[in-house]
Amino acid sequence: MAGLIVVISAPSGTGKTTICKHLLESFIQIKHSVSYTTRKPRLNEIEGESYHFVNMEKFNKMIKNNEFIEWAKVHGNYYGTSKRCLNEIIKENYDAILDLDVQGGINIRKKYKKAVLIFIIPPSMHELRSRLKGRNTEEVEHLEDRLKCAKEEVSYIFEYKYYLVNYNIKDTVNNLKAIIIAERHRISNLPSGLIKSLKKGME
């Protein structure tokens, strides 16, 4: 038995990072699969926790060595999911949460048919702009690029299994937990030994 692979995607600024942080603080049995990126760290970001920050040379080397399950260029930078990172989590029977763009979500599902893809929707474009602006991490030009991408990203929503609208963090995190709990209890995820030992006790 291995843990679930849960992917969340959303236009930049919707709240993925914030949602992940709250989920990890209050929900055991789930770990963040930390991606590699060539993007420069933001002020509050911690190496190895937010991302593994690497240069283009190291990223290219990792591509060459087949170290990524998937990788993509997003908003002008490169991001990739490490095979080693993800496998370590699910082999230990933890669930893994991945914060990926839509290309990443679709590519993960190609490799892991049972991956649970969840799309987070901002309440409105007005609110998305205000959150992205309020985060104060992008220069105006990059901020506009990220907003422009939102329309295309949303068009991939039908590739996803669930949606959540991120009105407020508390409800979104609770609803995300509900999805994960339901997915953990699918019959297809029933540990084989459980029914066997129950039946043995019935003999």
Residues at the site binding ligand 5GP, with contacts judged by CB under 6 A: 12, 16, 35, 39, 70, 72, 74-75, 79-81, 99-101, 103-104
Work out which of 3, 15, 80, 105 binds ligand ADP, going by CB under 6 A: 15
9: contact with ligand ADP by CB under 6 A: no
Residue 102 buriedness (CB in 10 A; 0-12 / 13-18 / 19+): buried
Applying the rule CB under 6 A, the residues between 119 and 138 that interact with ligand ADP are: 131, 134-135
17: contact with ligand ADP by CB under 6 A: yes
Tokens of 169: 């963090």
Which CB, 26 or 60, lies closer to ligand ADP?
Answer: 26
DSSP secondary structure of 127-194: HHHHHHHHHT-S-HHHHHHHHHHHHHHHTTGGGSSEEEE-SSHHHHHHHHHHHHHHHHT-GGG--HHH
Work out which of 75, 169, 177, 179 binds ligand ADP, going by CB under 6 A: 169
Q: How far apart are CA 108 and CA 183, in angstroms?
A: 17
Rounded least distance, CB 109 to ligand ADP, Å: 20
Place of tokens 């039908």: 158
Report the interface residues with ligand ADP, using CB under 6 A.
10, 12-18, 131, 134-135, 166, 168-169
